[in-house]
């Protein structure tokens, strides 16, 4: 009997890369996050073979959920073929043997950086949003311990004040992406740097949204059918990006979130940011979208402006 015979075969890495202890921790924290909508749950956050700040939070959540039966869609800024999305998809499918798709309605898990698909997600789907900074109050309170206390007290006065200051200075709210939202009437949450166009899609959504920051070691959730409202003053309603009149050069579509592509003559061309939706418009019958072709949000009256 030699030592070699006694030793177990070298298995390299675990299924879906993370070891079972890490997965168990993540799943427990995810359950806690679902139980406390919008509350930032601290977690250990393991290092992954992808650079920190490149979606390692979302990736840990995806890896803790994915199984060989899953169908995964990965997008970055709405695009499936963006280099970072391609890289994450390559990693997830390589370590989990899950299938991949560009069709938002076919995916069981959608990992996304900075976009929510245009087509309405349905029950049973999980949207995993990558989060650079989970703290909606970072700009008004950089001390994390203090911000945690303010969340505990639901003390969001400074955040309202910041919006008010924008209004006074620029005559409108100048917050771009990452527009802060109130979740389940309790916690103010950063929806990750999705454009304001995507923010309403979180409200009373049929799907589960998990948001995870790897570097900052926080994850949080919006369970299905949860109230999510942008912070807005009664007399100054929340506004999505004004892209009226922008026409997608590839599909002719309007009233979907567009990329603005500069031309040499100083003008711009527009193209839909959601490449999976472009593909469907060109090749198949797309499903229902959050905004109709006239730009009306599917829950009437939610967007007041």
Partner 1 sequence: MYVAARGGEGAIQNAEALYNDLKAPIDADVVRAIERTMPYLIDRVMGEGSLYAPELAALALAQTGGDLYEAVLILRAYRSTQPRLAYAEPVTTKMLFTVRRISAAFKDIPGGQVLGPTLDYSHRIFQLDVLDGKAAATATFTPDTPDAPEPVQPVAPREYPLVADWHRMAGLMAPLEKHADQDPSDVPDVTREPLLFPAPRAERLQSLSRADTGGILALGYANMRGYGAVHPTINELRLGYAEVQVRHPISGDLISLGRVRVSQAEIVTHFANSATGVFGANKEKRQNHKEELALGFAATMGWNEIKVIAAAMLDKAMDLPAPHPAHTEEFVLYHTDPVEASGFCIHYKLPHYVTFASGMDAMRGANQIAGDEGKSVSEQPEAELVAEAQE
Query: Considering only residues 201-220, where is the footprint of partner 1 by CB under 8 A?
Result: 215, 217-218
Nearest to partner 1 of 169, 300 (CB atom): 169
Beta carbons within 8 Å of 10's beta carbon, 6+ residues apart: none
277: contact with partner 1 by CB under 8 A: no
Size of the site for partner 1 (CB under 8 A): 78
Work out which of 174, 233, 292, 296 binds partner 1, going by CB under 8 A.
174
Burial class (CB within 10 angstroms; exposed 0-12, middle 13-18, buried 19+) of 89: buried
- Which residues in the 68-107 window bind partner 1 by CB under 8 A? 73-74, 76-78, 80-87, 89-90, 93, 97, 99-102
> How many other C-beta atoms are found inside a 10 Å radius of the C-beta of residue 292?
11
- Using CB under 8 A as the binding rule, whether residue 273 contacts partner 1 is answered as yes
Min CB(225)–partner 1 separation in Å:
26
Determine if 49 is a binding residue for partner 1 (CB under 8 A): yes
Residue 19 contacts partner 1 per CB under 8 A: yes
* 3 state SS of 40: coil
SS3 content of the chain, % helix, strand, coil (to 5): 25, 20, 55
Q: Which is nearer to partner 1, 19 or 288 (CB)?
A: 19
When asked if residue 300 is in the footprint of partner 1 (CB under 8 A), the reply is no
User: Judged by CB under 8 A, does residue 24 bind partner 1?
Assistant: no
55 vs 226, beta carbon nearer partner 1:
55
Contact between 115 and partner 1 per CB under 8 A: yes
Q: What is the DSSP pairing of strand 258-262 with strand 268-272?
A: antiparallel
Q: Read off φ and ψ for residue 211, nearest 5 degrees.
A: -120, 130
Compute CA distances 123 → 75, 204, 206, 265, whole Å: 20, 11, 5, 46
């Amino acid at each position: 009997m030699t030592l070699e015979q006694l030793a177990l075969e070298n298995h390299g890495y675990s299924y879906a890369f993370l070891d079972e202890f890490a997965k168990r921790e993540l799943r427990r924290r995810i359950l806690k996050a679902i139980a406390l909508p919008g509350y930032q749950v601290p977690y250990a956050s393991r290092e992954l073979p992808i650079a920190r700040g490149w979606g390692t939070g979302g990736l840990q959540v995806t890896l803790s959920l994915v199984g060989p039966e899953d169908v995964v869609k990965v997008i970055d800024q709405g695009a499936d073929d963006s280099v970072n999305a391609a890289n994450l998809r390559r990693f997830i499918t390589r370590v989990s043997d899950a299938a991949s798709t560009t069709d938002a309605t076919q995916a069981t898990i959608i990992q996304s950086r900075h976009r929510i698909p245009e087509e309405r997600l349905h029950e049973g789907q999980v949207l995993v949003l990558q989060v650079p900074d989970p703290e909606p109050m970072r700009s008004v309170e950089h001390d994390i311990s203090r911000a945690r206390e303010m969340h505990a007290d639901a003390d969001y006065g400074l955040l309202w004040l910041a919006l008010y200051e924008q209004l006074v200075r620029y005559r409108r709210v100048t917050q771009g992406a990452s527009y802060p939202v109130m979740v389940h009437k309790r916690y103010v949450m950063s929806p990750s740097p999705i454009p304001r166009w995507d923010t309403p899609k979180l409200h009373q959504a049929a799907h589960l949204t998990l948001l995870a920051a790897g570097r900052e070691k926080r994850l949080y959730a919006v369970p299905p059918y949860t109230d999510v409202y942008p912070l807005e003053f009664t007399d100054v309603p929340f506004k999505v990006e004004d892209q009226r009149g922008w026409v997608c050069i590839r599909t002719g579509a309007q009233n979907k979130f567009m990329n603005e592509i500069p031309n040499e003559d100083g003008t711009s061309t527009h193209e839909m940011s959601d490449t999976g939706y472009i593909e469907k418009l060109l090749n198949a019958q797309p499903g229902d979208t959050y905004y109709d072709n006239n730009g009306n949000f599917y829950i009437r009256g939610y967007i007041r402006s």
